[in-house]
Structure 1
């Protein structure tokens, strides 16, 4: 008997002629995420990927595999040759382990997937065989409607027996949908936006704006921690750190006070756009949520969009704040996000921001600003850190 992790792939198996490309990318991501953990062969068979377990480190493997986008379920399984004796031995082994772990379980159901159509028994007949084995050897009953646990049998060239399916995040392998530059603040929203776009196959790097010394070094370390959390899902992250304070001072001197926030956002987008052009990003990603703050009204978003020709993803745009917090909690960024360190958006914050800005009106307010020079100077002084 060989212990393996059986990985269900969800939408990836629905791909057409390019399925092999997605599959090879996924296997590459699995290998990278399992670096430093002993494991055996990684292989693909009839719509699933399998990772051989070589020592008692299943929990570590599961925790790493849950961070690989493209995997929907992880099933710790026993692999045996497809013959009745070995299959029965695996069933007894797996059910015994399951009931030792969960003595409260009293009912079960057998469920077979017969990939090898040459096998002489039908799926229903195999389920009946499994049921008989379990009923004969364990003090449990069959419940086909609401069982405490399932005994799964995937019958292929080899057979895989398991009772547990651990939910992963699904999505698509990293980088299969291009590169995105995430505007990462220290708040709750932007790390969630990065996670959601990474889940759709976008390779993520992060652009952070600070206003040092008005904002502290500890505030920036907080954001780097959030970037590290994103890297645990998306892989290595380039972290671009830009001090926007000189720009904010110029805006404060030369533009109306009530447009401070929206003009600052336009400069952030200009800097992101220039970086995207220079460094080959296909998209810009923000954590903006419609109506959440003054700069995120429809007018505010139109005015911000006007300074970039890049595709801007806003995956949180129609979400409820409670939903965003739920995702942040699940992926482990929430507790860091709520640490009480200031960010650059609190500097020169207007008491009564303009809630209905127009492109023409904001362009008029910006006419005394040397926009190109301010953007180029900010990028020239930018710091870059690689976060694994």
Structure 2
């Protein structure tokens, strides 16, 4: 039976609360892969196994798992009894007519009670494969790397690794509220907080009915895309047009943008506190526009008591644009 073996990295560095992070990652994997032919998601020694039904489509499941934060890498794997001959036999069967000139076996022994060390397991399994196929062993630059992982009662083997999304599992780092403008920067800022395990609530300020509903529709599309990383989201659409008109009548032109931002921050903080968020998030970048000088950002911060997180503050526009294109938010 096929499985997906999921490895995590940063979670493994946690202390006594590591089981909580791992269980949250497993729960997120169950949510992300629902309806794709996944039979079971279970926590093993230092890894997570996603057990697939016979008719599950690997590409569909792979695309879902790719967006789950907290994963270092994952692989489509099969299991074998925990002895050298059985492992080598099933690997040879699964290799089919694949032909390479060089290979290596990379083994990890999770259960130290297994009598062979990891290097010994590599030599024994690799020797049987070399004998059967006549391939040359190359430890530095092999054409094919066969991965073997020995657990307590069975072994997994696989031939490829898929990169994970990294970061921390969604829902492990508290809740934040992101001011979503509909531009390039704020969706990337939200994604960066999602990747650090935060639950993100979205707040969009619009000028309807003075202007069209276009910005609201764009905000909805952006939130729909970003929800693939946290599975459910709340978007607050705040009418701001009347407030803008009053500012135009009462405030000199050079100060208006800063006043707009101060008012937005006050409203966003009120929404954030009602929704148990612990910080606000913006897409501000130092010096990118006039309202984002250090002096103006300090003036904008003065009206709120909640921490304001600016994950893009030191990036340039090209870096942010490249990240937005990779995420798919740039085209929206």
**TM-score in terms of structure 2 length:** 0.94
RMSD: 1.7
In the alignment, structure 1 residue 90 sits paired with structure 2 residue 90: yes
- What is the match of residue 221 of structure 2? 225
Q: Which moved more, 1:199-208 or 1:54-63?
A: 54-63
The 8 Å contact of residues 32 and 65 in structure 2, kept in 1 or not, is answered as yes
How many pairs were matched up? 330
Tell me what 1:75 maps to: 75
Report the alpha carbon displacement of residue 56 of structure 1 after superposing the two structures with TM: 3.7
Q: Secondary structure at the match of 2:266?
A: helix
2:296 aligned with 1:300, yes or no? Answer: yes
> Please, which of 136, 142, 162 is the counterpart of residue 147 of structure 1?
142
| Alpha-carbon distance in structure 2 between the residues aligned to 1:283 and 1:260 | 25
Alpha-carbon distance in structure 2 between the residues aligned to 1:260 and 1:179:
30
Q: Secondary structure at the match of 1:299?
A: helix
- State the partner residue of 2:126: 131
8 Å CA contact 2:173–2:199 kept in 1: the answer is yes
Decide whether the 8 Å contact of 1:78 with 1:94 is kept in 2: no
Question: CA–CA distance in 1 between the matches of 2:264 and 2:246?
Answer: 14
Residue 257 of structure 2: aligned partner: 261
CA contact (8 A) 1:66 1:169 kept: yes
Deviates more, 1:326-335 or 1:304-313: 326-335
5+ residue gaps, structure 2? none
Say if 1:26 and 1:70, in contact at 8 Å, map to a contact too. Answer: yes
The DSSP-based 3-state class of the residue aligned with 2:34 is coil
Residues 84 and 124 of structure 2 are in contact (CA less than 8 Å); yes or no, is this contact kept in structure 1? no
Equivalent pair of 1:110/1:131 in contact (CA under 8 Å):
yes
How far apart are residue 148 of structure 1 and its match? 2.7
| Aligned 8 A contact 2:248 2:256 in 1 | yes
User: CA 1:334–1:130 in structure 2 vs 1: closer, same or farther (change >3 Å)?
Assistant: farther
Q: Are the aligned partners of 2:36 and 2:56 in contact in 1 as well (CA < 8 Å)?
A: no
Aligned to 1:313: 309
Task: Tell me which residue corresponds to 1:4.
Answer: 3
Alignment of 1:349-388 (within 5 A): none
Structure 1 length as normaliser, TM-score?
Answer: 0.81
**Alignment-derived partner of residue 386 in structure 1:** none
Shift of the 135–85 alpha-carbon distance from structure 1 to 2, 3 Å rule, reads closer
| Distance (whole Å) between structure 1 residues aligned to residue 295 and residue 12 of structure 2 | 41
Task: Give, in angstroms, the shift of residue 85 of structure 1.
Answer: 3.1
Which stretch shifts more, 85-94 or 243-252?
85-94
Q: Does 1:175 align with 2:174?
A: no
The DSSP-based 3-state class of the residue aligned with 2:182 is coil
Of 329, 335, 338, 2:331 maps to: 335
Query: Who is 2:238 aligned against?
Result: 242
The question of whether the paired residues in 1 share the 8 Å contact of 2:84 and 2:121 is answered with no
The alpha carbon displacement at 1:139 in A equals: 6.4
Secondary structure of the structure 2 residue equivalent to 1:112: strand
Q: Secondary structure at the match of 1:241?
A: strand
Stretch moving more, 293-302 or 213-222: 213-222
Residue 61 in structure 1 maps to residue 68 in structure 2: no
Give the Cα–Cα distance (whole angstroms) in 2 for the partners of residues 298 and 240 of structure 1: 28
- Structure 2 distance, partners of 1:145, 1:51, is 31
Q: How far 1:140 moved relative to its partner?
A: 4.2
Distance change in 2, residues 1:301/1:136 (3 Å): same
Instruction: Tell me the residue number matched to 1:376.
Output: none
Q: CA deviation at 1:291?
A: 1.0
What is the distance in 2 between the residues matched to 1:197 and 1:138? 49
Unaligned runs of 5+ in 1: 337-388
Counterpart check, 1:289 vs 2:285: yes
Alignment partner of 1:108 is 2:107? no
In structure 2, distance between residues paired with 1:74 and 1:35: 18
Report if aligned partners of 1:95, 1:163 keep a CA contact under 8 Å in 2.
no
- Check the 8 A contact 1:94/1:163 in 2, yes or no: no
CA distance in 2 between counterparts of 1:215 and 1:90 reads: 65
